[in-house]
């Protein structure tokens, strides 16, 4: 068993959580059932207006999906998180925004459908923080590709039950995780069913 197994906490499907990390600490994120996408954010704990930026990270890394050893950067191009381990096939997404009430309205869902955008702000509010925008997340385990005609293809995750990533904080941060509530497209598997995940600070 992994040495962190006794520290694992469960994040309920469709919900979010904010997790403070000190510089050098790692957050282990476990895809418990293998088919759950997890929207992931990191904010500078001293100044939340500085946050992990997908567009700046793509520019720095010159690729659209980070690999083990890659450092993601903030909107000020400062190192903020390093992907220190990944037992999955390494299929993650940096292109799509967080799902939102507007997206579910477009998809024909009833008002009040939970969303990653809502989870993000709800989780920050629970620890007394507020941000006036919703940064684009690192979508762990989300399988998004660009097709031959530059179309965006959303497919089921290719991760397996128990696959995990480790993210090392390169500054004092607040991490936010959202067990994505998407139940219309196959983002959370072909059965379109959101599920819980697990995480641990190590």
Q: What is the pLDDT of residues 129-145, one digit of tens each?
A: 999 999 999 999 999 99
DSSP secondary structure letters along the chain = --TTGGG-EEE-TT-EEEEEE-TT-EEEEEESSS---EEEEEEESS-TTSBB-HHHHHHHHTSSS--TT-EEEBTTS-EEEEEEEE-S----BSSSPPP-HHHHHHTTPPTT---HHHHHHHHHHHTT---SS-PPPEEET-EEEE-TTS-EEEE-----TTEEEEEEESSSEEEEEEE----SSGGGTTTT----EEEEE-
Q: Residue 83's CB: how many other CB atoms inside 10 A? A: 21
Q: What's the gap between Cα 85 and its chain centre?
A: 15
Q: What is the pLDDT of residues 148-166, one digit of tens each?
A: 999 999 999 999 999 999 9
User: Could you tell me the two tokens for 91?
Assistant: 């299929």
C-alpha pair distances (Å), 126 with each of 18, 80, 110? 8, 22, 25
Contact 44, 173 (CB under 8 A): yes
**In 3D, which of 31, 180, 177 has the Cα closest to residue 115?**
180
pTM above 0.85, yes or no: yes
**Tell me, what's the pLDDT at 2?**
58
Q: What is the pLDDT of residues 51-110, one digit of tens each?
A: 999 999 999 999 999 999 999 999 999 999 999 999 999 999 999 999 999 999 999 999
**In 3D, which of 145, 166, 156, 164 has the Cα closest to residue 194?**
156
Q: How many CA atoms lie within 13 A of 202 on its CB side?
A: 19
Using CA atoms, how far apart are residues 191 and 5, in angstroms rounded to an integer? 28
**Tell me, what's the pLDDT at 1?**
45
| Residue 6: pLDDT over 80 | no
**Tell me, what's the pLDDT at 4?**
67
Using CA atoms, how far apart are residues 160 and 163, in angstroms rounded to an integer? 6
Using CA atoms, how far apart are residues 129 and 108, in angstroms rounded to an integer? 31
């Amino acid at each position: 068993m992994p040495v962190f197994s006794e520290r694992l906490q469960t994040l309920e499907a469709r919900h979010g959580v904010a997790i403070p990390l000190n510089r050098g600490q790692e957050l282990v994120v476990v895809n418990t059932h293998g088919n759950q996408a997890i929207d992931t954010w990191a904010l500078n704990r001293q100044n939340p207006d500085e946050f992990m930026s997908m567009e700046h990270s793509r520019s720095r890394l010159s690729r659209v999906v980070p690999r083990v050893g890659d450092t993601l950067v903030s909107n000020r191009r400062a190192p903020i998180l390093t992907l220190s381990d990944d037992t999955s096939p390494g299929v993650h997404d940096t292109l799509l925004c967080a799902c939102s009430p507007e997206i579910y309205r477009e998809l024909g869902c009833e008002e009040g459908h939970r969303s990653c955008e809502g989870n993000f702000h709800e989780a920050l509010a629970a620890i007394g923080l507020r941000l006036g925008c919703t940064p684009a997340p690192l979508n762990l385990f989300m399988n998004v590709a660009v097709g031959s005609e530059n179309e965006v293809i959303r497919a089921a995750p290719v991760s397996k039950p128990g696959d995990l990533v480790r993210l090392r904080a390169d500054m004092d941060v607040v991490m936010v995780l959202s067990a994505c509530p998407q139940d219309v497209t196959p983002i959370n598997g072909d059965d379109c069913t959101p599920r819980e995940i697990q995480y641990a600070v190590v």
